[in-house]
Amino acid sequence: MADINISYGEDISGHVPEGDPATAWERRRDDYKLVSPLNRRKFKVIVVGTGLAGAGCAAALGELGYNVSSYTFHDSSRRAHSVAAQGGINSARARKVDNDSIHRFVKDTVKGGDFRGREADAFRLAEESVRVIDHMNGIGAPFAREYGGELTTRSFGGVQVSRTYYTRGQTGQQLQVSAHRALQRQVAAGTVNLHTHEEMLDLIVKDGRAVGIVTRNLRTGKISAETAHAVVLATGGYGNVFHKSTLAKNSNCTAAWRAHRRGAYFASPAYIQFHPTALPISSKFQSKTTLMSESLRNDGRIWVPLTAGDTRAANDIPENERDYYLERKYPAFANLTPRDIASRAAREQIEAGHGVGPLKNSVYLDFRDAKERLGVKVLDERYGNLFEMYRDATGEDPHEVPMRIAPGAHFAMGGLWTDYDQMSNIPGLFVGGEAGWAYHGANRLGANSLLSACVDGWFTLPYSVPHYLAEHLGEAPVDVADDVVVQTLADVQERIDRLMNIRGTVPTDHFHARLGEILYEGCGVSRNDSKLRRAIEEIRELRDEFYRELFVPGTGEQFNQELERAGRVEDYLELAELMCVDALDRKESAGAHFREEFQTDDGEAQRNDEEWCFVSAWEMGPDYSHIRHAEPLTFEAIELQTRNYK
């Protein structure tokens, strides 16, 4: 088995204000230094990524009067992957008479994350959630409404109240369009300089501070650098490391991973969420999985045939021969259990021989009862575009036959480590959205992703970044002729040349597909010691083969998508090892990290709070070794407890 080289560094602090976590954000905001309106134009901030976090941050800073450079590898900011989170966005506005509150929101979030996230972060998320809905509604997001005009809500997994605001099944798309318009307004005003078709390939660090980035123009191949007073990374998550995931094919970890190589800590990489309502893989030639929104679990019932190996069509199986296993095992939450529990339960049914479909790799999501209760018109009002998408993908009508769903690699709870101000351990490097680790702990509750991105972009970074900038008034950005900039440019060019000059015979996607197979088997829905060690060994062997056999056609000085993919897969091959190392190191089960050695007698996750109640923040050693730092976690408002959804 693989030799694992782990060393342990000093504990780190999240710099959370002391005292009541419920008031930490209010007190922290009052302590932030301010930059006067006349001085704001003297500062430049680079924001990488134009999803909800990046577009919101760039638009807000531009509106405040700072000079912002915004980067995206898309042709338009509206193409960012935030469009894919369609089900809804949570908020503790408590407009329904169902006894919701900020405290309940925090409890659901902390508990849902299995007590492996910061309690104070969850309070900020809840507090700002009220402003987020009002703000997004104000800038044009067409939220669904009650007959009298009030915004309406629905429920999502892991909660027993109705706090999820939505726009049919298009919430992420509509929020992204609104954020895109706000960003373009600042582009037109001249406060934001938007760079499209530019991919960040390195972080420039001088005297321990982040001072700029190196990018490659995807159309021309030109490598260039830009410096600034601060850098914000809002570049999304790394679920595509699994190859077949619910993410868009261009979603990647490169910007965050290159920052990690420059010294930024990477937190909780093993915490990967497997979405329970993805469409099952139908062929090994399939390029990705398709996500069906979790909102469908409001009205759809999940079941499998009671008898293993049953080959009858779904509608031919009578009621008494169906196992509604989530309703049976978790009666209090039923089909709205958190995603990690629902995915693990589905995987258990499939592996026990109860899987359905041509490949026996899925379970049913059935709208028969909802159709009888509500009617087709109401179902189409709530989920019409999702039903259409399912029909287009499968050729089956969910009104007539149950959907088939299966767990698919989805959201990354891990990411670059940041403190309470959302600044990494590298001063001047801030992180927003899924690129960071904040809020979600070991498992993200549904409809908290759009919220966390909006909170970061509109209502956290526009406070914390100026606080950092205030200490650097009168300083100019580093000159692009500076030695550290020139050296970083040279490092990027050398890396590109190395990939181009391998001149093997195997295309990039072969290595990515093989890596996905290794991870699904070794670091998937469930893990154990031997699986993880074998996965690390296989990843290292695959990485060696990558550097021997990779073939990248063309040149680096042109539009070259194979070169783009090669660089991203090279990063995945390093990240994948760290994911497995983190999972191997954490000797407990928590949320999406389910170690088979650590489970209760009835098969539930077994945390070890005495030894593992901390965030693992990994540093890359000079010899590519793994150095683990720990940020201890404390819980004052929400008492540590075993998760129970029964």
Identity (one letter) of the amino acid at 159?
V
**What distance in Å separates the CA atoms of residue 182 and residue 187, rounded to the nearest whole number?**
9
Beta-carbon contacts of 280 under 8 Å, excluding residues fewer than 6 positions away, are 289, 357, 359, 361, 362, 404, 405, 406
456 close to 51: Cβ distance less than 8 angstroms:
no
**What distance in Å separates the CA atoms of residue 509 and residue 14, rounded to the nearest whole number?**
38
The residue annotated as part of the active site, out of 28, 78, 339, 444, is 339
Q: What's the order of all strands across the beta sheet hosting 614-620? A: 6-8, 626-632, 614-620, 266-267, 415-416
Q: How far is CA 483 from CA 18, 428, 622, in A?
A: 41, 19, 21
Two tokens, residue 299 = 């009205």
Angle, helices 254-261 vs 561-585, to 10°: value is 60
106 close to 159: Cβ distance less than 8 angstroms:
no
**What distance in Å separates the CA atoms of residue 138 and residue 486, rounded to the nearest whole number?**
45
Q: How far is CA 293 from CA 12, 169, 313, 343, in A?
A: 37, 7, 24, 14
- φ/ψ of 390, rounded to 5, equals -65, -45
Two tokens, residue 121 = 């972060």
- φ/ψ of 273, rounded to 5, equals -85, 130
218 close to 34: Cβ distance less than 8 angstroms:
no
Two tokens, residue 52 = 């909800």
33 CB burial (10 A radius; 0-12, 13-18, 19+): exposed
- Output the CA torsion sign for 462, 463, 467, 473: positive
**What distance in Å separates the CA atoms of residue 243 and residue 257, rounded to the nearest whole number?**
17
Looking only at the bridges linking them, the beta strands covering 6-8 and 626-632 are parallel
**What distance in Å separates the CA atoms of residue 551 and residue 555, rounded to the nearest whole number?**
12
**What distance in Å separates the CA atoms of residue 84 and residue 247, rounded to the nearest whole number?**
8
Beta-carbon contacts of 33 under 8 Å, excluding residues fewer than 6 positions away, are 466, 467, 470, 471
Looking only at the bridges linking them, the beta strands covering 230-233 and 322-323 are unpaired
User: Which 8-state DSSP code applies to residue 599?
Assistant: B
Two tokens, residue 298 = 């409001």
3-state secondary structure of 629: strand
Q: What's the order of all strands across the beta sheet hosting 272-278? A: 272-278, 403-412, 363-366, 301-305, 322-323
119 close to 89: Cβ distance less than 8 angstroms:
no
**What distance in Å separates the CA atoms of residue 531 and residue 551, rounded to the nearest whole number?**
30
- Is 404 designated active site? no
Q: How far is CA 472 from CA 64, 157, 221, 509, in A?
A: 18, 44, 34, 45
Q: Give the residue numbers annotated as catalytic, written as ranges.
A: 339
